[in-house]
Structure 1
Amino acid sequence: MVDHPENQDFEEVARSFAALWQALAAAGPGRRRSLVDQVRDALDRGEDRLAGHDMTIVANTFVLEAVVHEGTSTRIHRARHRDLDSLHAIKTLRPDQADDPVARNLLLREARIGGGIRHPNVVATETLLRLADGRPALVLEWIDRSLADLARETPLSVNDITHIVAAILTGLDAIHAAGFVHGDLSLSNLRYRDGDLSRLKIGDFGIALETGRRHRDLDIAFAGPPRFAPPEQLAGLALDGRSDLHAAGLILSMLLDHCRETGAMVERLRELAAILARPEPQERPENAKAALHLLGGLGKENPS
């Protein structure tokens, strides 16, 4: 009877597995757990190498699956938890920025700010890890959709836009209550999942400021998307919550350009957008709560 190569391979694997099992069984309970984790790690890495590419595993827990965004100093990966199979975003410094103290301090600062704000309309900061080369790695809630995606794909209803603006203002209220100005509102930083716009979340605290500070205080010459930045931010002045309201007004105006409906409610929303985006901070609503009050009254009367 001919012994097929497949059978020989299986017998060799079986012998190796039996020897491995004996070695694990001989270890004490505490040591055994560590050895099992090391074996799993080696198998995970080895399987990927057999497929022709290397796998990057962070903190023996997260597998980096893809780069989903690259900025001037940071990179964001989609990552999968090895045990829970859950998706996460991991934000870290680009390799060429690993030794930049300003970029490193900003990412650590982002972790501290985001970690201190827990709210349904704010992207959750889960933890901070280190890559093997020492770069900090910020683990964030994974949310695959942004308003930029939505605006490109489909016209919006008044109901959609109202839910979006309410979520933005509610999230801003939580951020401002924690003592910070977001400073970087944009369509790509407003995330949602499963089509639920009422639970839209504000993400990316990379250039957030304590209320009353300027970006130059953080060694940032210019910060924020010019399209949505208020005049005081463009001028390098101190910011407060009203600066974020200006950006929210510009975003509302843009969303209305994608609205498939017409009528009185659309015009009232346009009036609200103009109020939020007034050039001078003192001309805008006092805070996000006041802006929410204006939004809530749109069905009854014009904002003022």
Structure 2
Amino acid sequence: MIAFGLARGSDDGTQEMIGSDWGGANGFGRFETLELLGEGGMGVVYRARDRASGREVALKLLKTTHPENEVDADLRLRREARVLSALAHPNVVRIEDAGVYRGRPYIAMELVDGRTLSVWRLESPRTCRDVVKVFIDVARGLAAVHAMGLVHRDLKPANILIDRGGCARITDFGLARRIRGGGRDDDASSTVTRPGFVPGTAPYMSPEQFRGSLLDGRSDQFSFFVCLHEALTGQRPFLGSSFEEVGKSIVLGNRVRPTSLSDLSPTLLGAIDRGLSPRDQRFRDMIEVELVLRSA
């Protein structure tokens, strides 16, 4: 079981252990921690049991090994809780609880019995129909996110979970942003959104994201089609050996076009081409994307 798409092992090689500061050797408040599921640069996710309900959850906490980034990490976790509490959709990971314990925020999420899109794609041969079915789910989830006036800003295979029944869910909303007048949000003064800070994961970012422009749902749409391209062909459409090189390829539209693209239907190939186009040439919204995929 996995949640939030965090890989095992931290970025700096450290291991975050729950100890007395977390509420006991195997606990955090009312949650009994059972297993480390994943760890990223700023957070850890545990399989945990809610002692009150007996239900198992994915418990997301901030790490304590990077105090210099604690304010921004705290803001992201709190924002993720706000975003998920406002969303109720079968293709978005469900929040069970959120709060603060001993000054530390946490999120308890549904525990998804599944794997990331990347693992799902490699664990057995997948047909084009299999892949498109998953991405119809993702399109529906993104449509719900955008209907709330939100942009995910970090859609990638690691943030798409597929359960044992084949249902896809979007997760990890730590970089999500609500677009308001002037494009400002309630933590625009932090490094989460400060000028010059480019949030996201380079190979999956839109051109406007690299430029630091204001974003709307079409930015997530671009990321969606990067993921779809990779899932169908095994290759990302934009390459580079560094953040800057990848960004240049994306901004200039220098796409890789593997020969396997020729095996796709004209409708599906046309959808990918349109989704990876400049912003004003993409689909109007993810509802339109879903309709096109259903006809592909």
Q: TM-score range by the shorter chain?
A: 0.7 to 0.9
* Alignment partner, residue 129 of structure 2: 159
Alignment of 1:136-285 (within 5 A): 136-143=105-112, 144-194=114-164, 196-197=165-166, 199-211=167-179, 213=183, 217=188, 218-220=190-192, 221-258=197-234, 265-278=264-277, 280-285=278-283
2:90 pairs with 1:92: no
Give the alignment's Cα RMSD to 1 decimal: 2.6
TM-score, normalised via structure 1 length: 0.72
In structure 2, what is the Cα distance between the partners aligned to 1:158 and 1:105? 39
In structure 2, what is the Cα distance between the partners aligned to 1:237 and 1:188? 24
In structure 1, what is the Cα distance between the partners aligned to 2:156 and 2:184? 19
In structure 1, what is the Cα distance between the partners aligned to 2:202 and 2:84? 23
* Aligned 8 A contact 1:253 1:270 in 2: no
Distance 1:154-1:86 versus aligned 2 partners, 3 A rule: same
What are the superposed Cα offsets for residues 227-276 of structure 1, whole Å, 9 maximum, x if unpaired? 111011111111100001101111111111159x9986545323322211
In structure 1, what is the Cα distance between the partners aligned to 2:234 and 2:267? 16
Distance 1:85-1:98 versus aligned 2 partners, 3 A rule: farther
What are the superposed Cα offsets for residues 110-133 of structure 1, whole Å, 9 maximum, x if unpaired? 1011110000000001111333x4
In structure 2, what is the Cα distance between the partners aligned to 1:160 and 1:267? 18
Distance 1:229-1:56 versus aligned 2 partners, 3 A rule: same
In structure 2, what is the Cα distance between the partners aligned to 1:226 and 1:150? 22
Code of the aligned partner of 2:62: L
2:24 pairs with 1:70: no
* Alignment partner, residue 3 of structure 1: none
In structure 2, what is the Cα distance between the partners aligned to 1:240 and 1:263? 31
* Alignment partner, residue 286 of structure 2: 288
2:98 pairs with 1:128: yes
Off by >4 Å, runs of 4+ in structure 1 = 261-267
* Aligned 8 A contact 1:155 1:258 in 2: no
SS at match of 1:96: coil
* Alignment partner, residue 115 of structure 1: 85
Which structure is larger by alpha-carbon Rg, 1 or 2? 1
Code of the aligned partner of 2:267: R
Q: Give unmatched runs, 5+ long, in structure 1.
A: 1-53, 299-304
In structure 1, what is the Cα distance between the partners aligned to 2:215 and 2:96? 27
* Aligned 8 A contact 1:127 1:139 in 2: yes
SS at match of 1:285: coil
Distance 1:173-1:263 versus aligned 2 partners, 3 A rule: same
Distance 1:242-1:76 versus aligned 2 partners, 3 A rule: same
Corresponding residue pairs, total: 240
In structure 2, what is the Cα distance between the partners aligned to 1:154 and 1:230? 30
What are the superposed Cα offsets for residues 261-295 of structure 1, whole Å, 9 maximum, x if unpaired? 998654532332221111x1111001111112222
Q: Give unmatched runs, 5+ long, in structure 2.
A: 1-23, 236-259
* Aligned 8 A contact 1:214 1:236 in 2: no
Code of the aligned partner of 1:275: R
SS at match of 1:63: strand
Bigger proportion of residues as helix: 1
SS at match of 1:90: strand
* Aligned 8 A contact 1:214 1:237 in 2: no
